[in-house]
Amino acid sequence: MNDFEFLKNRNLQTDRNFASQPYWAGVFKRFFAKKRPVIGLMIVSVILLLAVIGPMVSGYSYREISSVINPETGKQVVARGISPRIPWLHSLLGKEPYTDFFAEKTFLFGTDDLGRDLWTRTWYGARVSLLIAFVTIFIDVIIGMTFGLISGYFGGVVDAIMQRFVEVANSVPRLVIVSVLAIFMPKGIGLVIVALLLTEWIGMSKIARAEMLKIKELEYILASRTLGAGNFNIIFKDVLPNTIGPIITQVMFSIPTAIFTEAFLSFVGVGIMLPQCSVGSLIEDGFNNITTLPYQIIPPILVLAFMMLGFNFIGDGLREALAPKLEDM
């Protein structure tokens, strides 16, 4: 074909242009382009992994008290307050072998003052803490979003009444709620979950309401209304999917709050009850023995710190990845 001939058989009237990158691919790339969210994701993954397999690989259970029978006296000797030991590493470094009754045993984080393996208990506690956080946040998202979306969508009197309710709920300090609950409920996981449920949904509902107020005036919602879409459809099919970004971000910030609250409640003694444990109750135990057995408090505190750091990093990264600033063109 000659270079200077007209191109033939072309359909100019159909426009085939489109940008190839789907939305989530962009979010993905932006999330992984920065260091901190990746570090956060790695921290959280490692902790999640250890929380699942940590207690399984140790060979102890979280409530098992390690003991041996002293062959000389025939009495039971309990592995109380043993500092972290890894016998093979110990001999590898050419140090004098342990001489007590547990010379052959491995206690990565040591044992507590009842003789339970702290490695097992730490990861078991992390598992409990994460579980409590996930369950309460999941329920809070559902309650908070429904409440916030409805309040924001209908506005007027409905909104005014619902928001006064939020203000009242928000003005009661969490500790007061916990104290009142403690009268009616047994201490333990249940109390922690209910206490978190009663307070954490408020943040979610505020974000959902703010998003609703912003989105409901946008033209695509007006378009749905001119097509005759019902309120239910508009709230849950048009607006809800568009609030996912801010909600996921809020979830990432709520998880560490929930974990910390649980730790705090357990620390003050209304949380997890023995022989169960959580990160918070382990810190409490460690704190009680800090003068005699100072190594005990280190693992749960590090796990708590890294969990909070990791989730916050992920939340930050998600917030930026989901709502990119318009690339200056």
Partner 1 sequence: MNSSNRQPLLQVEHLKQYFKPRRDYTVKAVDDVNFEIYPGEVYGLVGESGSGKSTIGKSVIRLYTPTSGKIIFKGTDISGTLTKDARDTLRTKMMMIFQDPMASLNPRKTIGDIIGEGLDIHKQYTSRDERREKIVSILKKVGLSPEHYNRYPHQFSGGQRQRVGIARALIMNPDLIIADECISALDVSIQAQVVNLLKDIQAETGSAYLFIAHDLSMVKYFSDRIGVLHLGHMLETGTTEEIFANPVHPYTRSLISAIPLPNPGLEKRRKVVGYDYASSGIDYTVGSNHVLEGTHTVFGTDEEIARWTSKQ
Partner 2 sequence: MEEKDKILDIKNLDVSFRTSAGTVHALRGVNIDLYRGETVAIVGESGSGKSVSMKAAMGLLAPNATVNDGQILFRFKNSSGEIEEADILKKDKKWIRRNINGKHMAMVFQDPMTSLDPTMPIGRQITEGIIAHLGLSKKEAWEKARDLLLEVGITDAEKRMHHYPHQLSGGMRQRVVIAIALSCDPDLLICDEPTTALDVTIQAMILDLIMKVQKTRGISVIYITHDLGVVAKVADYVNVMYAGKIVEVGNVNEIFYEPAHPYTWGLLSAMPDLSTDDVRLYTIPGSPPNLLHEMPGDAFAARNPYALAIDEKEHPPMFKITETHSAATWLLDPRAPKVEMPAELKARLERMRREAQG
CB-wise, 302 or 323, nearer to partner 2?
323
In the list 72, 217, 219, 328, the residue contacting partner 2 (rule: CB under 8 A) is 328
The token pair at 47 is: 């902790």
Applying CB under 8 A, the site for partner 2 has a residue count of 26
Which residue, among 167, 150, 168, has the nearest Cα to 159 in the 3D structure?
A: 150
Helix axes of 189-215 and 118-154: crossing angle, nearest 10 degrees: 40
Q: Shortest Cβ distance from residue 249 to partner 2 (Å)? A: 18
Any contact of residue 13 with partner 2 (CB under 8 A)? yes
73 makes contact, choosing from partner 1, partner 2, none, with CB < 5 to 8 Å by partner type, with: none
21 counts as binding partner 1 under rule CB under 8 A: yes
Q: Please, which of residues 226-265 interact with partner 1 by CB under 8 A?
A: 226-230, 233, 238, 241-242, 244
The total number of residues shown for the chain amounts to: 329
* H or E element in which residue 67 lies: strand 67-69
- Kindly state whether residue 292 participates in binding partner 2, applying the rule CB under 8 A: no
Given 2, 9, 17, 73, the residue binding partner 1 (CB under 8 A):
17
Contact 278, 132 (CB under 8 A): yes
Find how far residue 82's CA is from the centre of its chain.
31
Indicate which single residue of 224, 276, 289, 312 sits in contact with partner 1 (rule: CB under 8 A).
224
In the complex, what is the shortest distance from the CB of residue 236 to partner 1, in angstroms, rounded to a whole number?
Answer: 12
Taking the C-alpha atoms of residue 226 and residue 221, their distance in angstroms, rounded to an integer, is 9
In whole angstroms, give the CA distance from residue 256 to residue 178.
19
Closer residue to partner 2 (CB): 1 or 274:
1
Q: Please, what is the Cα angle at 143 between 238 and 41, to 5 degrees?
A: 80
The residues of the shown chain that bind partner 2, judged by CB under 8 A, are 1-7, 10, 12-13, 15-21, 25-26, 29-30, 33, 324, 327-329
